[in-house]
């Protein structure tokens, strides 16, 4: 049986908070697996290895996240820092996939 996790503002105990964090973490992993799937597709589509790193696209992605964070009342700087790491890991994954596909 799956426990019902309350929304953050309804949490009354640390157990509820931790259950909520764990549930969100699982959801984030599922979403990140899907995001990395798009990196696999990019590695397959890009004919030139030099196209894997695209600083203009990285800046656009981080700007989009910064704006979305601000629209939801969160620190754009804090989430931009998280996304910087995410994008760098995505690029590293894409390089690995690009190389593997052409080995």
Which residues span the domain enclosing 97? 12-101
Determine contact, residues 38/87, Cβ cutoff 8 Å: no
Q: Is residue 37 part of a domain?
A: yes
pLDDT tens digits, the chain, 103 residues: what are they?
A: 567 899 999 999 999 999 999 999 999 999 999 999 999 999 999 999 999 999 999 999 999 999 999 999 999 999 999 999 999 999 999 999 999 999 9
Residue 3 lies in a domain: no
CATH number at residue 97: 1.20.59.10
In a domain, 6, yes or no: no
pLDDT of residue 4: 87
Secondary structure tally for the chain: helices H, strands E? 3, 0
- Nearest-angstrom CA–CA distance, 80 and 60: 11
- Distance, CA of 55 to CA of 52 (rounded, Å): 10
Give pTM, 2 decimals.
0.91
Residue 29's alpha-carbon distances to 61, 65, 94, 96, in angstroms, are: 19, 18, 18, 20
Q: For residue 94, is it within any domain?
A: yes
Residue 64 within any structural domain of the chain = yes
Does 69 reside within a domain?
yes
Q: How many domains does the chain have?
A: 1
């Amino acid at each position: 049986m799956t426990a019902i996790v309350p929304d953050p503002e309804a949490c009354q105990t640390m157990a509820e908070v931790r259950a909520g964090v764990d549930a969100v973490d699982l959801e984030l992993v599922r979403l990140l697996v899907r995001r990395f799937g798009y990196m696999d597709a990019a590695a397959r589509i890009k004919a030139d290895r030099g196209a894997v790193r695209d600083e203009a696209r990285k800046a656009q992605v981080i700007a989009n996240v910064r704006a979305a964070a601000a629209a939801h009342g969160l620190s754009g700087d804090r989430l931009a820092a998280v996304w910087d790491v995410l994008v760098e890991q995505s690029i590293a994954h894409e390089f690995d996939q690009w190389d593997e596909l052409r080995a």
